[in-house]
Homo-oligomer: A and B are copies of this chain.
Amino acid sequence: MSGSSFGTIFRVTTWGESHGPGIGVVIDGCPAGLSLCEEDIQKYLDRRKPGQSKYTTRRTESDTVEILSGVFEGKTTGTPISLLVRNQDQRSRDYGNIAVLFRPGHADYPFTEKYGFRDYRGGGRSSGRETIGRVAAGAVASLLLKELGITVLAYTKAIGSFSISPADYRMSEIYENSLYMPNNAVAEQAGEYISSLMSETDSCGGIIECIAKGLPVGLGEPVFDKLDALLAQAVMSVGAVKGVEIGDGFAAASSVGSKNNDAFRRGGNGDTDRSICKMTNHSGGTLGGMSDGADLILRAAIKPTSSIAKIQQTVDIHGENADITVHGRHDPVIVPRAVVVVESMTAITLTDLLLRNMSSKLDHVRKVYSGQ
């Protein structure tokens, strides 16, 4: 496996298995001088921690983070920031029967083919616990963005077919329900739906939306490292994500140009206002792969949890047909816990592109080095 790193300047490398000694991340390229302590990161990790509601696995993990390097007297030093979370509740006996069976919807089969064998304990590297490193790094990225007036916010737009349209968004309610939906009433209906699935030992998915505000215009590197392209990689790389869209996304495919184009107008604050804004935001904040000054809006489609206790057909590692029932402690829906993961991946991507954009023009270079 290569591919455990993401980013060009702000570069994140994650490691760790579900049932090994721990999970962690190394962040290389974080600018020096950012205030950072363990509590800053812990807040983000707590948002994805298991055992917080009846809809999440009962595995109990405190997921306490330790900063191993890169911070001195409360500030980042510019050197790599190494973060460690020890695994605690490693009841690997739960996973015994899985050693010889390929779980449908899981990475077991390709993992075994690719590497010759696999760490079968709890999914190993393919476990949802892998996202701990992403979230820890996302916390650092979010702090850095905040310093520049940029905020990133993710929430659950849909659970199964219980979807909230923007007209019904009540952003203040996001943290009032355990599904992180911007509408408590819909969240309640969705919760009942999840409960009914749980009683049938089934599972569901949903849609996560993420909005970033305050971006400078021009982030994103055409051609292959467009803002939307790297966001797509970042978000699609989260396990269980099956689709990513920006702005109107798939709906744009059936629109027409005269509607889909966002008109520009100058800012309305008097004659001296020379700011430029868009009258609509079908593009979701990107044009030509760069931020366009409007809110960045993306959505990720999350598939239903693969681990279900229902009997399913499969094969064993010898290629023989078999039945499988996946017991263990699994979320009936991973959407609520994935919210902070999508938010983190968005923050990491934006941070990296923000730093990469610094050398886009000679004026920037001069600004940094003048007076030195």
Contacts and interface: CB of A to CB of B under 8 A. Distances in A.
Contacts of A320: 266
Interface residues of A, number: 169
A114 B226 contact: no
Contacts of A315: 264-266, 276
Interface string A241-259: 1111111111111111111
Contacts of A185: none
A259 B232 CA distance: 26
A16 interface: yes
A37 interface: no
Contacts of A32: 1, 114-117, 360-362
B275 A319 contact: yes
Interface string A278-298: 010001100111111100000
Interface string A101-144: 01011111111011111110100111000100000000000001
Given A237-B226, A304-B255, A3 B221 contact: yes
A58 B222 CA distance: 26
Contacts of A11: 2, 5
A182 interface: no
Given A24-B82, A358-B365, 17 more contacts: A15-B26, A31-B362, A77-B118, A77-B119, A77-B124, A125-B222, A125-B223, A205-B252, A242-B252, A242-B253, A242-B283, A251-B301, A253-B303, A258-B312, A261-B306, A263-B312, A355-B358
User: Which 4 residue pairs across A and B have the least CB separation, nearest first?
Assistant: A107-B288, A3-B221, A3-B225, A114-B218
19 contacts: A4-B26, A13-B28, A20-B68, A29-B359, A31-B360, A34-B362, A77-B124, A105-B283, A204-B255, A224-B234, A231-B236, A243-B252, A245-B250, A255-B303, A255-B304, A258-B310, A265-B315, A358-B365, A367-B368
